[in-house]
Chain A
Amino acid sequence: MSTAHVTTIDTTRPGIPLSRLVKVELRKMFDTRSGFWLMMSIAIVAALATIGCILFVPNDDLEYAVFSSAIGFPMALLLPVIAILAVTSEWSQRTGLITFTLAPNRGQVVLSKAAAAIIVGVVGMLLALAIGALGNIVGSAINGVDTVWDFSFTDVVLIVFVNVLGLLIGFMLGVLIRNTPAAIVAYVVYSFLIPTIFGILAEFQDWFDDLQPWIDFNTAQAPLFPGGNGVSGEEWAQIGTSGLIWFVIPLAFGVWSILRTEIK
């Protein structure tokens, strides 16, 4: 140790670049046993879903779209949980005490967590889709049918986009609630209960039926799922307005509150 002698602190050193924080946040997502297996579960779940398709889907129907949708379903729960934990563990494990002491710019820390979660989401989805593609080849070979790739590049982009959007919703809830179990429950309510309520409302109230895609984030996202006729300009606008209500505003409030809250 070669401390001290100079008894003033140095305020001219470079700050912590965002890229370094993103790397650190990525590392923190993998470096515990539970974190590591949560990440591994992306590949494991994708492999299980693929094997399930080969075993149980009738041979004639075995095409890539089947694999990708079977993989997409569990990802819709897994990726948001990963994003939730990236935020909430700073509070539940109280590591925020060190994180925010070493990097007092809390906005930068939140941003780097978002970036790390998106990287994991995109890479994870591409990996899962690759496992599905492998299943499509193997499955059709085993069953002696032609390999069918009824899945366009746009479909790939959309399914990755939808799942990253789901991950970001988890991230937003983590930022807003900052408590692991509560944020996970909130995600389930958000993505399963609220759409059901909106659906019932739209069924019985005509005035709401037209309004729904503009204010219901879930319904607005429907055109994004593969197999549709593409996304129209109006549909993008609906994703925008409903996303503002259900994503942008709560996220902004959550970030604002993290910037001010006491880290204990």
Chain B
Amino acid sequence: MARVRHSGAMITVEGLTKKYAGFTAVDEVSFTCRPGAVTGFLGPNGAGKSTTMRIIAGLTVATKGHASVNGVQYRDIPNPGTQVGVLLDASAQHAGRTGREILSISAATMGLPTSRVDEMLALVSLTGKESKRRVKNYSLGMRQRLGIANALLGDPKILILDEPANGLDPAGIHWMRSLLRDYANRGGTVLLSSHLLHEIEVIADEIIVIGNGRIVAQGTKAELLHTAGTFVKATDASALANALTAAGLAATPSGDGGLRTEAAPEQVGRAAASAGVALVELRPAEGAGLEEMFLELTADTQREAKPTEGVTA
């Protein structure tokens, strides 16, 4: 039942829905991932990213819809580890096994030589000594490196990584970014998830934003980050708002105490100047749209109460 759609798509997800008793984790999700690109799957915790990835890898059965890898179902790929590299949870490891042993088991399952294990350990910069330690003594960052090594072990053409940057230090994130960029540049397909906008922004070529199980935006990074208008911020926010209103410019709150308006930066600057409002920021509102959308998404699932402003002033 090879369904060839969207020629060239390496991962195709169509109308995917997963319902549990009482709630819908994934709701009519459709997207494709193309070779040579890093597709970022962005959404707050519990948005349905992991469930979608598990369905693609055949670990969870969808209630409705399809997920296929290069036209076939994941479970129909013979020895799939050699075609698709998967990292779903870096912490899901037997705590009593050494890092090297975990890779050796995967290599043995795929029928790969043990030399491949050493190559992968070197690639993710786990030293010989570290690789002989038991995973319960690993930091989350080391587990992520091990998980990435495990996903790359079979020299796959597609990578599916769930929150791979979690627990990595800034140098580690930089390392992973160049690794994935290089992988995509050589024709590989990458689907990775994150709950951090910035992470996705720096790594991904294409972005899929998901919230409460639904896709709320998708497109190339350029498309999504491009927002018309201006972002402006002043120390006295209300004076600025009044100035813009006086000049007939509609503005909405955006980001960290700033305002966003459809008007051009020059108009906004003039309006502020004529009202005598000192600005601390004035720039084209690039990416502000995505950030607002993402903040709105996360606000719904925000568990902490909003901090009260000005208490310690």
A interface residues with partner B (beta carbon < 8 Å): 1-16, 20-21, 23-24, 27-28, 31-35, 89, 93-95, 97-105, 260, 262-264
Contacts and interface: CB of A to CB of B under 8 A. Distances in A.
A-B pairs, top 4 by smallest CB distance, nearest first, are: A4-B187, A32-B96, A94-B92, A104-B75
B59 A8 contact: no
Contacts, number: 136
B69 interface: yes
A93 B123 contact: no
A186 to B, nearest CB: 23
B92 A97 contact: yes
A94 B89 contact: yes
Given A3-B157, A93-B94, A93-B95, A101 B183 contact: no
Contacts of A31: 97, 101, 105
Nearest to B69: A9
Chain A interface, DSSP helix/strand/loop, else mixed: loop
Given A100-B59, A102-B110, A95 B93 contact: yes
Interface in B69-105: 69-70, 72, 74-84, 86, 88-89, 91-97, 101-102, 105
A20 B186 contact: no
Contacts of A12: 78
B54 interface: yes
A95 B61 contact: no
20 contacts: A3-B186, A4-B183, A6-B157, A7-B36, A8-B157, A9-B72, A9-B158, A11-B77, A13-B78, A23-B108, A24-B105, A31-B97, A93-B94, A93-B95, A94-B89, A97-B92, A100-B58, A101-B58, A101-B88, A104-B75
A15 B189 contact: no
B70 A9 contact: yes
Interface string B180-191: 000100111100
B45 to A, nearest CB: 15
A239 to B, nearest CB: 36
Contact of A24 (B97, B108, B134): B108
B131 interface: no
Nearest to B156: A3
Among B8, B69, B78, B106, the most chain A Cβ lie within 10 Å of the Cβ of B78
B3 to A, nearest CB: 14
A104 B91 CA distance: 20
